């Protein structure tokens, strides 16, 4: 029984580049949410998708975008990377309100 999976596990980019992070939810879960976790802080909500539609967006700039595919997997895209985008990016899937997190993608922007 596979849990939430994310790829890649680690990523190093330079300022100005863009990045695509991927998430596969638990089988049967139709909702995927993305969070940014800066070191020493709690996760910050970025996006939620349900049935391929955006259901909510947190206080993040337009450089951040996401989408959900027919198989409910999701991608998070970040353009024009800044040093401050360095963080752990977590994906969470849910069937009801309970969220289960993936292992995250650790992004370092140099």
Chain positions contacting another protein, by CB under 8 A: 31, 33, 35, 40-45, 48, 50, 55-56, 58, 90, 92, 94, 96-104
1's tokens: 């029984």
**In angstroms, rounded to a whole number, what is the distance separating the alpha carbons of residues 97 and 42?**
19
**In angstroms, rounded to a whole number, what is the distance separating the alpha carbons of residues 77 and 12?**
15
Nearer to another protein, 84 or 98 (CB): 98
Question: Is residue 20 a contact partner of residue 74, using CB atoms and an 8 Å limit?
Answer: no
Nearer to another protein, 3 or 61 (CB): 3
Q: How far is the CB of 66 from another protein (least distance, A)?
A: 13
Nearer to another protein, 80 or 108 (CB): 108
Which of the 8 DSSP states describes residue 83? G
Taking phi first (over 0 means left), then psi (-120 to 50 degrees means alpha), and beta for anything else, what does residue 28 get? left
Q: How far is the CB of 72 from another protein (least distance, A)?
A: 13
Nearer to another protein, 50 or 64 (CB): 50
Q: How far is the CB of 45 from another protein (least distance, A)?
A: 5
């Amino acid at each position: 029984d596979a849990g939430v999976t994310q790829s890649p596990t680690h990523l190093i980019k330079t300022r100005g580049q863009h990045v695509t992070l991927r998430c596969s939810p638990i089988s049967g879960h139709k909702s995927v949410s993305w969070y940014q976790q800066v070191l020493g802080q709690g996760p910050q909500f970025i996006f939620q998708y349900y049935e391929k539609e955006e259901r909510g967006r947190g206080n993040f700039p337009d450089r951040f975008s996401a989408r959900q595919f027919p198989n409910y997997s999701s991608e998070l895209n970040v353009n024009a990377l800044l040093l401050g985008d360095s963080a752990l990016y977590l994906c969470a899937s849910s069937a009801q309100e309970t969220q289960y997190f993936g292992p995250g993608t650790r992004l370092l922007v140099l």
